[in-house]
Structure 1
Amino acid sequence: MEIIMSVVIGFMFMAAVYLMLSKSLIRIIIGTGLLSHGAHLLLLTMGGLGGEAPPVVAYGVSVSDYADPLPQALILTAIVISFAVTSFFLVVAYRAYQELGTDNMELLKGTEDHE
């Protein structure tokens, strides 16, 4: 299962980098969201996918059957933070589009001479 998750994570990172290198601001925001989801899956996979029992001490359950709660707690916190950052980026992009009328990063830089 870890091999499949590694391939999925690699594909998500590849797609995120491709989107982040584009000129459209919306595609960059989608790329950062995809990158954060790939990082969440990476943390979950590195924590181990095994273990069906909840992390509660009980008789008859060996230590290897427990699910590790730490990666899950870290991912839950990271999901909330990435949702807030993505929401902020979307609001800034919408406001920039209202003011400037474009989402092209080349035009947003303002380095062109308009004579």
Structure 2
Amino acid sequence: MELLIALAIGLLFTIGVYLVLSKSLLRILLGTTLLTHGVHLLLLTMAGLKTGAAPLLGEEAEAYVDPLPQALILTSIVISFGVTAFFIVLAYRAYRSTGTDDVEGIKEERQ
């Protein structure tokens, strides 16, 4: 199971990096979104895919799952949502002021 998730993480990172290196702002936005999803899966896999009881049961619990990776992933989801919203607004403003979403076109417009 962990091998399958590791392959999915590699695929997400590969596609994300490919999209980030393109010239379209929309593709860059989608690439950063895929990279953040890859990071979420990476955090989950690094913690170990464990089956067991709920994260918090009390002092006398025999088996439990560590809640720290879940908290880190939740924090990462919130941060990536904020960054994605900022990128959307930034790309929209760049498109409205230059008329294109091509990064090279935006560079030429500034010079």
State TM-score, norm by structure 1: 0.88
For 1:29, the equivalent position in structure 2 comes to 29
For 1:92, the equivalent position in structure 2 comes to 90
State the secondary structure of the residue aligned to 2:108. Answer: coil
For the pair shown, which has the larger CA radius of gyration, 1 or 2?
Answer: 1
Please report how far the alpha carbon of residue 51 of structure 1 lies from its aligned counterpart in structure 2 after TM superposition: 2.3
Unaligned runs of 5+ in 1: none
In the TM superposition, 1:1-115 aligns within 5 A as 1-55=1-55, 56-57=57-58, 62=62, 65-110=63-108
Cα distance in 1 for residues equivalent to 2:110 and 2:44: 45
Please report how far the alpha carbon of residue 58 of structure 1 lies from its aligned counterpart in structure 2 after TM superposition: 6.5
% identity of equivalent residues:
57
The amino acid across from 1:57 in the alignment is G
Q: Tell me how many residue pairs correspond in the alignment.
A: 110
RMSD: 1.8
State the secondary structure of the residue aligned to 1:54. Answer: coil
Please report how far the alpha carbon of residue 108 of structure 1 lies from its aligned counterpart in structure 2 after TM superposition: 1.0
Cα distance in 1 for residues equivalent to 2:77 and 2:107: 30
State TM-score, norm by structure 2: 0.91
The 3 A distance-change label for structure 1 pair 89 and 112 is: closer
